[in-house]
Amino acid sequence: MARLSDIVIQNPQVTHFADLETLIAQAAQNGLISLEMDVKPDYIDTPRNWAWRLEGTFTRGVTR
């Protein structure tokens, strides 16, 4: 299990929400089993439905 805050902290090069989505998908494809949404990503382009989008991205990454 990973926390979203840990992923954000460990990847300071990520500066846009779309890049975070890519990172989450890759983590899921690499074997991450669960993701805790413990913080709202603090990017200028973070959408209102950020948690729903990241959960969908994570789920699609796991099932690929």
Those residues whose C-beta lies under 8 Å from the C-beta of residue 29, and which sit 6 or more positions away, are: 61, 62, 64
Other beta carbons within 10 angstroms of residue 32's beta carbon come to: 16
Q: What is the pTM of this model?
A: 0.91
Buried b (16+ CB within 10 A) or exposed e, 1-29: ebebeebbeeeeebeebeebbebbbebbe
Domain boundaries, position 57? 2-63
Give the model's pLDDT for residue 31: 93
Give the model's pLDDT for residue 1: 87
Count of the separate structural domains present in the chain: 1
Per the model's pLDDT, the better-predicted residue between 31 and 63 turns out to be 31
Instruction: Reply yes or no on whether the pLDDT at 64 is more than 60.
Output: no
Instruction: Express each pLDDT in 26-62 by its tens digit.
Output: 999 999 999 999 999 999 999 999 999 999 999 998 7
Phi, psi of 35 (to 5 degrees): -135, 125
Sign of CA dihedral 33, 25, 50, 53: negative
Instruction: Reply yes or no on whether the pLDDT at 63 is more than 80.
Output: no
